Amino acid sequence: MREKQVVLATTHVGRDNIEFARSALESTVEQLETEVIPMWIEHDPRIPPHGRIIDAEVREREDGEHELIGRVETYEEEDLKGEGRIPLLDRTIPVGIDEDESGEIIFFNRTFDGEADQRDISEISEALNAEATREEKRSFELLPVLKITGKYALGAIATGFLGKIGADVYDLFKEKVKELMNRKAEETDERLLIFNPVVEVDGRLVEIKVILTNPTDEDIEKLFDDGLQKLDQILPKHITDNSVRCIVYKFEGQEIELRFGVRKDAAPLDPELFRSD
């Protein structure tokens, strides 16, 4: 494992036309006092984290702008060959929802800023009685990602989700998700739909990501009609280790496949290290 300092962000307007305020950089410094932040390749949640940010500070640049300097640890191949090779930290990675949050949140990035996209997101949020939140991700080639996040009981994700949405608007919800994903299919080669339940296990929150790449109408139907029940069946077998903070699945061909886990301190976990089939 290598440790180094890198520029994580600045207050300049980037090529992606995103400008971070100094307060946003300082907020990250405060966050790292209690948490550790995983490093994802191009913000792609399908790939295990390749490192972690363990500390940071804000510095003034010569041009008067400010930059966020991070102290990061990047993982090397030998670090990933067995359990325990990456030192365990006493801080945890954040999950997709606050501990006191009970409702659903629809997360989207700037690739959904179009008028039609925003209209669909508004209708999806209304169907779920959810909050819609735009995530700022600094990447020139940003992958369109729509994420549906909520807190549910372990073993009762399907009933919890369907109970909150209600049968009267369930079909409308699915149709709007399909419309949104189909529109993205006309604009990009790749897009992601993520169902992102957070469950409480023995007093700790565990984040689950069920990822659909280039979802078809049938994929979306199968995920919500059958896939959530399958998730309820397999998840308890994969969540027995109390060091697991995040579990990532792939939904494809009507099946849920376990891809990898993330330890509470941002170390990636091979499925064989923590699942119990």
E strand residue ranges, the chain? 2-10, 37-39, 51-60, 66-74, 105-108, 131-134, 145-152, 192-201, 204-213, 244-252, 255-263, 268-269
pLDDT at 114 over 90: yes
Element of type H or E holding 185: helix 167-187
What mean pLDDT is reported for the chain? 90
Secondary structure (3-state) at 57:
strand
Q: How confident is the model at residue 93 (pLDDT cuts 50, 70, 90)?
A: very high
Residue of 215, 206, 191 lying closest to 248 (CA atoms): 206
pLDDT digits (tens, 9 = 90+) for 54-81: 999 999 999 999 999 999 999 988 777 6
Could you give the CA distance from residue 277 to residue 272 in angstroms, rounded to a whole number? Answer: 10
Q: Which residue has the tokens 């994700």?
A: 157
pLDDT at 219 over 90: yes
pLDDT at 15 over 70: no
Could you give the CA distance from residue 53 to residue 39 in angstroms, rounded to a whole number? Answer: 7
- Which of 27-36, 83-92, 232-241, 249-258 has the weakest average pLDDT? 83-92
pLDDT at 140: 47
Average pLDDT over residues 137-145: 72
Q: Exposed (0-12), middle (13-18) or buried (19+): which is 68, by Cβ within 10 Å?
A: buried
Could you give the CA distance from residue 192 to residue 184 in angstroms, rounded to a whole number? Answer: 10
